[in-house]
Amino acid sequence: MNLIRPILLLLALAAWSPALAQTVKFEDSAALLGASCARDIEANCRGVNPDATRLKDCLSRNQDVLSPQCKSDYGRAFDAIQKRVTARAAVARLCARDIAKLCPGVDKADRGKALECLIAGPRGMGINCNKAVIEAGYR
């Protein structure tokens, strides 16, 4: 069960990467993975660096010995994480025009400040930008 903490930390770090499509919170995906696969990870992926890619590869390689619950859930958990990461990456592209219009004093290169201004600022962002912000989990 000691592997659950590194998994949660790993998934929290993945949150820094920026999806569009119904996304799930990183915490929910980590909870699903921890609840379904903690014993399987402990038994079959011992010694594996617990980053998302290596952990997913380890679970894929050991599919024949995974519990039925882990087999059914780990793919969904990693897919949900990837969708959220993709949504976060899309925000800058889909909101560039709105950032320029609604946050004129903010440098576009400073994504954190631009996003903060966009979310905290007055409403009026475009439909695509608003949807991207919601899908990325920022609102």
Burial class (CB in 10 A: 0-12, 13-18, 19+), 2: exposed
Domain boundaries, the chain: 4-135
Measure the CA–CA gap between 123 and 103, rounded to whole angstroms.
12
Residues 6+ apart with CB under 8 A from 109: none
State residue 16's pLDDT score: 38
Measure the CA–CA gap between 87 and 81, rounded to whole angstroms.
10
State residue 9's pLDDT score: 45
With 0.85 as the threshold, say if the pTM is over it.
no
Measure the CA–CA gap between 79 and 127, rounded to whole angstroms.
25
Measure the CA–CA gap between 90 and 66, rounded to whole angstroms.
34
Q: What is the pLDDT along the chain (139 residues), one digit of tens a residue?
A: 455 555 544 554 444 334 334 566 777 877 888 888 889 888 988 887 767 778 888 888 998 999 999 988 888 888 888 888 888 888 888 888 888 888 888 877 788 888 888 888 667 788 888 888 888 888 7
Handedness of CA 78, 81, 85, 90 (dihedral sign): positive
